[in-house]
Structure 1
Amino acid sequence: MAGPIDHIVFDIGKVLIHYDPNLPYRRLIPDDAERAWFFENVCTHDWNLEQDRGRSWEDAEALLVEQFPEKEEQIRNFRRYWHEMVPYAYEDSVSIMEGLIDAGRDVTMLTNFAADTFRHAREMYPFLNKPRGVTVSGEIKLIKPDVAIYQKHARDFGLAPEATLFIDDSLANVEGARAAGWQAVHFTGAEKLRRDLSSFGIDA
């Protein structure tokens, strides 16, 4: 059994707030096959990840508009309607996080997020301001699961890696945290998270 946990670090997307780029595009590109092609070939996951790594939306859009000039409007709609991609919080997970903070636990956040959309998310979801702090990939130009981002977060917030528990919906990111010497659990829902926390002696 691992030693005591002094620090708890939350991922944000799909742990505290819902994220699905299909949501606005079901309206913008109603045809299922056309929409699937668009996400597989134009506004791809890898393209969006570069904004999480710090690329500006202006540069990101320019790159795709040059390649797909006929899709310019739909490309620009990704950022324009981003707020519709994060339509609600997972209240049960947020309640767990807030309960840990209220109980005096040291809670921070580590997220792959573009810098400007994260500022927007904080306005939409004020609970994102409650933890002690956050590392945003787009602000530091490192992304999970690169071990360097976990190491930087630990340095910046004074975390002892072996006493740190990380919570993320991505198994790759969980493994990245473990490679950095952290404890980590794979998030699939609030009830499992409560059980996982309990296994580390943490009431939630």
Structure 2
Amino acid sequence: MPIEAVIFDVGNVLIEWQPERYYDKVIGAERRRAMFAEVDLHGMNDLVDQGHHFTDTIYNWAEKYPDWRDEIRMWHDKWIELAAPEIPHSVRLQRALRAKKIPVFALTNFGVQNFYYATTIYPFLNEFDRHYVSGRMKTVKPHPPIYEMVEADCGVPPEALLFADDRIDNIETARKRGWQTHHFTGPQGWADRLVVEGLLTSEEAR
């Protein structure tokens, strides 16, 4: 079935999301490993993605670990440095699709407050036809309800959706629902897939 809409994940598809890299640079790899071994920072972030308040969640988490209080607060205070840089080729693909009037949606695990913040830094996040942000929806990938909500809202048949995500578990749920999927490992592979699908020409996908 022809593709009617293209769905982008955001983290590691349009914006690099490598918190460990930030901490390695700021506090050193050894201290970072020690902190991540003691503090479930990704679990903390999952709460934000589920809709818990960005500031309150991180600052409360920091108080549980006084030895790491300042470092944990960096997840909030320096967040835009963790969520950086943008992936320029992916942004060009998003804009190329929209220039051809192909509906382009975002489906992302992201908190409410930090997604809003990101839209003030990365203009392309405001350019989607529809935003599906887990914090707003109170459910996260790879659990089926968020995919069901996307289908109900957009009205596009599952088999006419093409979804790119860097995480296999996220695309596996989509695939089981009948979506067409692409495991994103880099923008060139995604560009090639869009060309194969006839959505963009080779020149448009550069």
TM-score past 0.5 threshold: yes
- Cα deviation 1:119-178 (Å, max 9, x = unaligned): 011000111111111111011111001111011012122221110000111111110111
Percent identity, aligned pairs only? 34
- The separation in 2 between residues aligned to 1:136 and 1:41, in whole angstroms, is 29
Q: How does 1:57-68 map to 2 (within 5 A)?
A: 57=54, 58-66=56-64, 68=65
Matched, 1:20 2:24: no
**Does the 8 Å contact 1:15/1:90 carry over to 2?**
yes
TM-superposed CA distance for 1:7, in Å, is 0.9
Q: For residue 182 of structure 2, give the secondary structure of its aligned residue in structure 1.
A: strand
Deviations 1:46-99 (A, max 9, x none): 221121111223134324523x22222222221111011123211111101100
Q: How many residues align?
A: 200
Q: CA RMSD in A?
A: 1.6
Which 5+ residue runs of structure 2 have no aligned equivalent? none
Give the TM-score normalised by structure 1.
Answer: 0.91
- For residues 12 and 196 of structure 1, the distance between their equivalents in structure 2, rounded to whole angstroms, comes to 18
1:127 matched to 2:124? The reply is yes
Structure 2 matches for 1:106-185, cutoff 5 A?
Answer: 106-185=103-182
- Quote the residue 1:72 is aligned against: 69
Normalising by the residue count of structure 2, what TM-score does the alignment of the two structures yield?
0.90
Aligned partner of 1:84 in structure 2 is: 81
Contact 2:62 2:73 in 1 (8 A): no
Aligned-pair distance for 1:23?
4.3
Following TM superposition, by how much is the alpha carbon of 1:43 offset from its aligned partner in structure 2, in angstroms? 4.4
Counterpart of 1:4 in 2: which secondary structure? coil
Query: 1:124 and 1:35, CA in 2 relative to 1: closer, same or farther beyond 3 A?
Result: same
Task: Report the CA distance shift for 1:187/1:27 in structure 2 as closer, same or farther (over 3 A).
Answer: closer
Write the distance in 1 (CA, Å) between the matches of 2:85 and 2:23: 17
User: Partner amino acid for 2:33?
Assistant: A
Alpha-carbon separation, structure 2, partners of 1:121 and 1:110:
15
1:165 is paired with a residue of what secondary structure? strand
Q: Is the 8 A contact 1:147 1:179 kept in 2?
A: no
Q: Please say if residues 51 and 135 of structure 2, whose CA atoms lie closer than 8 Å, have aligned partners that are also in contact.
A: yes
